[in-house]
Amino acid sequence: MPDPQPGIHLAVSRTRLGQLNDQEYNAKLTNAVRSIIAQQDSEFNSKDLKVFVLSEQSLLPLIVAKILNKKGKVICFELNEQFRHVLNGVSKENDLKDALEIRKDIENYCDITAEVIKEDIDVIFAEPSFGISLLPWHNLFYW
């Protein structure tokens, strides 16, 4: 982990911090991503995959970049500056900086369009988590 920044606990709710540190949840997420990437690898004949991750304050972009193992590119948007710093630090420490593009050039997640992404995307991953969620069932609005 990068050097802790003051206020990171203010940027992420307690529920979300607990979820980010839940080993069982992260293992299930990693297994799901690994199986989808393996399926896509066989379909695209080992072509470099372009993956878009739509999640807020999530470790999912790091998980996908690590599983791709430099055989693709991950694009994600993170509007929270403190969490973006964490993602950048972790990706640098784990040599994922080239595989992970963390962007902030939008005002709202509703502004994400094909013109903003400017890439042909092969796979989209999403995690039902939002910064405005205070209680676990608030994320059900995702569905």
One-letter amino acid of 75? I
Q: Which band of pLDDT confidence, cut at 50, 70 and 90, is reported for residue 127? A: confident
Q: How many residues does the chain have?
A: 143
Statement: residue 6 has pLDDT above 80: no
Distances (CA, A) of 107 to 17, 26, 113, 138: 24, 29, 12, 22
Model confidence, pTM: 0.82
Cβ-count burial of 112 within 10 angstroms (0-12 exposed, 13-18 middle, 19+ buried)? middle
The whole-angstrom separation of Cα 112 and Cα 93 is: 28
DSSP string, 29-64: HHHHHHHHHHHHHHHTTTPPEEEEEE-SS-SHHHHH
Span 118-141, mean pLDDT? Answer: 75
More confident residue, 39 or 30: 30
